[in-house]
Amino acid sequence: MSQTEQDQVVVSGAAGLGAAVATESGSELGDPAAVQARGYWELVWRRFRRDKVAIASAIFIVFLISVAFAGAPIAKHYSGHGPNDIFAASPEIVKLPSLLPAGPWTHFQNPNTGKENVMVLGAANRLGQDEFLRLLYGARVSLEVAILSTIGVMILGVILGASAGYFRGTTDTVISRLTEITMAFPLLLFVIALAATVGPRLNAITLGFFPQGVVTLVLIFSIFGWFYPARIMRAQVLSIREKEYVEAARMIGASDARIIRSHVIPHLIAPMIVYSTLIVASYVLFEAGLSFLGVGIPLTVPSWGNLLSSAPEYYTTRPLLMLWPGLAVLMTTLAFNLLGDGLRDAFDPRSGGR
Residue 99 or 194 with smaller CB distance to other proteins: 194
Residue 63 or 185 with smaller CB distance to other proteins: 185
Least distance (Å) from other proteins to the CB of residue 312? 6
**Helix (H/G/I), strand (E/B), else coil: 164:** helix
Residue 40 or 185 with smaller CB distance to other proteins: 185
Report how far residue 244's alpha carbon sits from residue 223's, in angstroms, rounded to the nearest whole number.
35
Report how far residue 203's alpha carbon sits from residue 82's, in angstroms, rounded to the nearest whole number.
22
The Cβ of residue 207 has, within 10 Å, a number of other Cβ atoms equal to 7
Residue 8 or 337 with smaller CB distance to other proteins: 337
CB distance 298 to 217 below 8 Å: no
Least distance (Å) from other proteins to the CB of residue 323? 8
Residue 162 or 338 with smaller CB distance to other proteins: 338
Max intra-chain CA distance, the chain = 83
Least distance (Å) from other proteins to the CB of residue 311? 7
Using CB under 8 A, list all residues that contact other proteins.
Answer: 3, 180-181, 184-190, 192-194, 196-198, 200-201, 281, 285, 288-289, 292-295, 308, 311-312, 315-316, 319, 322-323, 325-326, 329-330, 333-334, 337-338, 354
Helix axes 214-225, 187-197, angle to 10 degrees: 150
Sign of CA dihedral 213, 219, 222, 224: negative
Which of 302, 286, 140, 152 shows the shortest CA–CA distance to 219? 152
**Helix (H/G/I), strand (E/B), else coil: 108:** strand
Least distance (Å) from other proteins to the CB of residue 336? 8
Least distance (Å) from other proteins to the CB of residue 210? 21
End-to-end CA distance of the chain: 7
Least distance (Å) from other proteins to the CB of residue 291? 10
Residue 81 or 318 with smaller CB distance to other proteins: 318
Amino acid in the structure at residue 157: G
